Amino acid sequence: MKTRGINHLAMVTNDMEKTVRFYRDVMGFPLVGAIGGNPNGLRARHYFFETGPNSTIAFFEWAGAEDFHKPAGLEAAGQVQFDHVSFDVETEEELLELQAQLEAAGQEVTTVVDHKFIHSIYFHDFSGIALEASVWIHNPTGKAPDYSNVNVFADPNPVPALQEEMDKARLVESNG
């Protein structure tokens, strides 16, 4: 397997609105994808923020998840909020090769999951750490967000911070 780095690091939040306002507005990471509440069965919101070319930090919104406060670089006390890490592969063929490699090694691995803008497989390492490998199908990084792309912005009930951006984009488009 040849990776190009981290596709996305998946974290957990209990408040997507605050998460969008922090990562987009404070950190300056463009919100480049939003899924959830869609027909493929994902009930939770799952939003992606670009951190660099081909790389994102993503958040699942899990109602009731406890906040986690830990100073960077210091030991953790209590529970840690982490979901999984996704490795970025360049092609669908490489994704399928990794899937076959994992199966040959006796590792459980999912079928390819179509998230509309990325295809992914899910598996665990020997310690039970949740891992994913993903290939961009419609890479939203490195360009202005396209809020009209329903494959990338597929949350039918977006948080207000995202809805504001979508409304602004529609206004510009209609006046443009």
**Does the reported pTM lie above 0.85?**
no
Rounded average pLDDT over 76-98: 81
Give a three-class secondary structure readout of the chain. CCEEEEEEEEEEECCHHHHHHHHHHHCCCCEEEEECCCCCCCCCCEEEEEEECCEEEEEEECCCCCCCCCCCCCCCCCCCCCCEEEEEECCHHHHHHHHHHHHHCCCCECCCEECCCEEEEEEECCCCCEEEEEEECCCCCCCCCCCCCCCCECCCCCCHHHHHHHHHHHHHHHHC
Q: What is the pLDDT of residues 162-173, one digit of tens each?
A: 999 999 988 888
Q: What is the pLDDT of residues 14-67, one digit of tens each?
A: 889 988 988 888 778 899 999 886 656 667 889 999 988 889 989 888 888 776
Mean pLDDT value across the chain: 84
Give the start-to-end residue ranges of the domains of the chain.
Answer: 3-67+80-175
For domain 3-67+80-175, the question of CATH label 3.40.50.300 is answered with: no
Q: What percent of the chain has pLDDT over 70?
A: 84
